[in-house]
Chains A and B, each alone.
Chain A
Amino acid sequence: LNHDERFSAEALPLLGALYSTALRLTGKPQDAEDLVQETFLRAYRSFGQFAPGTNLRAWMHTILRNVCTDTRRKAARTLQGGELPEDGPPVAPAQEAFGAERDLERALAGLPEVFREAVILRDVEELSYEEISGVLGVPIGTVTSRIYRGRALLRSALAGPAR
């Protein structure tokens, strides 16, 4: 298989998962689309550098994370020191979820971003601690701590009376 065929066969099937994560991180479908599009374009350009045998999902998430960081940096610059982009998503992204699922999506959306991304990468995307450490560029101890804090906040949000 050549570069294009391999990319189509291996990377494109991850589009759904990446979009889903992007939407949970940004809360806005348009932003999620932009992030995912740029992620795939970058991934396509540097697919030759992907080491076969390692986790492509983790590699793609690393790119998504970098795109996200770059986009925010750019946005912050254009705001010229005005208001900074808000931390959490303004609305819960679970448009079609209902019941317990909707509550969970809402609780997730309410988490501060550092915890939200750690929990999503671990519990939704099922990356290992090592992979998450690579994606976020932080030590494994920090990954553990963020997952612990994220889950604790989620549990209390789900148990609490606030709806």
Chain B
Amino acid sequence: MTCQPESVTAWVDGGLTAEERERVAQHVEACAECRAQAESETALRTRLRALPQLAARAGFERELAGRLRSRRIPRLARVLLPLAAGLAVAGFWLRGSPEAVARELAFDHAKCFRKQQLPAKVVGNDAAVISGWFEAQGTSLPGIPAPAAGLQLQGARYCPLLDGTFVAHVYYRDGPRTASLFLIPRALRMGTVLNTTALGRQVRLIADGDRTLAVVAENAADVEALSAALGRRLALLFVP
């Protein structure tokens, strides 16, 4: 075999096929010049391998890691921002949706009456006391019917909706029958009256200017009785 310096380089680096390696090995054994090349390349490789890393400016690694982290936030934000915007739009839309509000009220009604003791902040069956209590908190109720169809006034409080709005919640009970009167401090996307069913409860929403009244009960008759009483009050209030 004649001298093939490039093959010697590959041989030094452990390249080549087994067959080629064997051939080059034999040649290097016999050829002083190629042996010198192999030894010299091996020595050079050892020196190059031992070269220390050239250090970067102090702080470069930290800055780079910081830039990478700041890339991560937009990545996340690309997903989260539209999601948040979507939720905000959905939330805003739901705020004005009578069905969504009815569902929340029905849920709140069930939650309050499920408790051993009603979580009322003002207790009693005196409509004037309850009206006065709300008045003192800045809520003017159009009227509190008591009693209606045997349903007795029990007390009242403010209950929070999911969007953070507080609604006036007045409790009625007659044995196992329960009913609620709500005042939501905003108008909903609906006509004057809307009857619906939510979570197995009857819900009637009544528009009252920029506010909405709601009656929730287990059966339609109680809703009817309570809102009729309310209607009389409303009529009295609105008729000069």
Contact = CB atoms under 8 A, between A and B. Distances in A.
Interface of A: 4, 7-8, 12, 15-17, 19-20, 23-24, 29, 32-33, 36-37, 40-41, 44-45, 93-97, 100-101, 104-105, 108, 119, 122-124, 126, 129, 140, 144-145, 147-148, 151-152, 154-155, 158
Nearest to A120: B48
A37 B64 contact: yes
B72 interface: yes
Interface stretch (B52-60, B94-102, B123-131, B213-221): B52-60
Contacts of B5: 148, 152
Contact of A16 (B15, B51, B53, B65): B53
Contacts of B52: 97, 101
B211 interface: no
Contacts, number: 89
A151 B46 CA distance: 12
B51 A105 contact: yes
Interface residues of B, number: 29
A126 B191 CA distance: 78
A130 to B, nearest CB: 9
Contact of A129 (B13, B53, B60): B13
Given A104-B48, A144-B10, A12 B54 contact: no
A4 to B, nearest CB: 6
Given A16-B61, A20-B54, A126-B49, 18 more contacts: A7-B68, A8-B65, A12-B61, A16-B55, A17-B53, A23-B56, A29-B56, A29-B57, A32-B56, A33-B56, A37-B67, A108-B48, A123-B49, A124-B49, A124-B51, A129-B15, A147-B13, A158-B44
Interface in B32-60: 40-41, 44-45, 47-49, 51-57, 60
Interface of B: 5-6, 8-10, 13, 15, 40-41, 44-45, 47-49, 51-57, 60-61, 64-65, 67-68, 71-72
Nearest to B61: A15
Contacts of B9: 144, 147-148, 151
B60 to A, nearest CB: 6
Nearest to A123: B48
A100 B64 CA distance: 32
Contacts of A147: 9, 13
Contacts of A96: 55
A145 B6 contact: yes
Given A123-B45, A144-B9, A101 B51 contact: yes
19 contacts: A12-B65, A16-B53, A17-B53, A19-B53, A29-B56, A32-B56, A37-B64, A41-B67, A41-B71, A105-B51, A122-B45, A124-B51, A126-B49, A144-B9, A148-B5, A148-B6, A152-B5, A155-B41, A158-B44
